[in-house]
């Protein structure tokens, strides 16, 4: 098992604090599981590309293109988000 030296730990802490300060002015957009609708993460406005994530609720592993998950109002997200079950009459 590799252990970090004190210099490596302080460097990692410094980079983490810089990252947090840089993100204060960015807009957040939530990412939801395409299977169950559970919130699986947050993407910031400067994020681009693809991300692989695992839903903590339904355990589905998904690859998401962040361009498809732009920030939308809650009203618009609910209208287009989850699919409702279709009930068929026999």
**pLDDT tens digits, 4-23:** 677 777 888 888 888 888 88
Cβ neighbour number for residue 90 with a 10 Å cutoff: 2
CA 15 to chain centre: 21
Q: Can you say whether the dihedral through the CA atoms of 8, 10, 16, 19 is positive or negative?
A: negative
Residue identified by tokens 């279709």 is: 86
More confident residue, 67 or 85: 67
- 83 — pLDDT class (breaks 50, 70, 90): low
Kindly report the length of the chain.
Answer: 90
- Does the pTM of the predicted model rise above 0.85? no
Contacts of residue 48, defined as CB under 8 A and 6 or more positions apart, other chains included, come to 66, 67
């Amino acid at each position: 098992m590799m252990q970090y030296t004190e210099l490596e730990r302080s460097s990692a802490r410094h980079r983490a604090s810089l990252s947090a300060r840089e993100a204060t002015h960015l807009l957040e957009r939530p990412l939801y599981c395409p299977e169950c609708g559970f919130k699986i993460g947050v993407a910031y406005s400067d994020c681009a590309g693809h991300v692989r994530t695992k839903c903590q609720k339904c355990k589905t592993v998904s690859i998401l293109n962040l361009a498809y998950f732009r920030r939308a109002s809650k009203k618009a997200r609910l209208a287009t988000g989850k699919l409702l079950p279709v009930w068929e009459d026999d």
